[in-house]
Amino acid sequence: GVQTCALPIYPTPPCNDQLENARFALSCCRKIGGRVYALPEDITEVNKKMITTIFAVLMGCGLGSGVADDGDNEIETYKQQG
């Protein structure tokens, strides 16, 4: 059989669609008020630490906007005015 651990693994360069999707995801994060310092390349190259920071920022935005205040009760998907 083939021993896959002996084969060199080369990361494939991201295609344009992947970079465009990553740019869109980061722009959505920024649009809802998240301070995201990650780059689209961090997402396409699956940089685990940067992806974790993106999710942490999104969780912080959700907690700060009142989305997750009431636990399992009815969840509002927008920031309430007043």
Q: What is the pLDDT of residues 18-69, one digit of tens each?
A: 899 999 999 999 998 889 899 999 999 888 999 999 999 988 888 777 665 5
Q: What is the pLDDT of residue 25?
A: 92
Residue 80: pLDDT band (50, 70, 90) is low
Measured distance CA(1)–CA(24) in Å, rounded: 42
Provide the residue type at 29 as one letter.
C
Q: What is the pLDDT of residue 67?
A: 62
CA angle 14, 20, 23 (to 5 degrees): 105
Q: What is the pLDDT of residue 64?
A: 75
Whole-prediction pTM value? Answer: 0.63
Examine the pLDDT at 81 and tell me if it is beyond 80. no
**Distance between terminal CA atoms of the chain?**
66
The residue ranking higher by pLDDT, 56 or 7, is 56
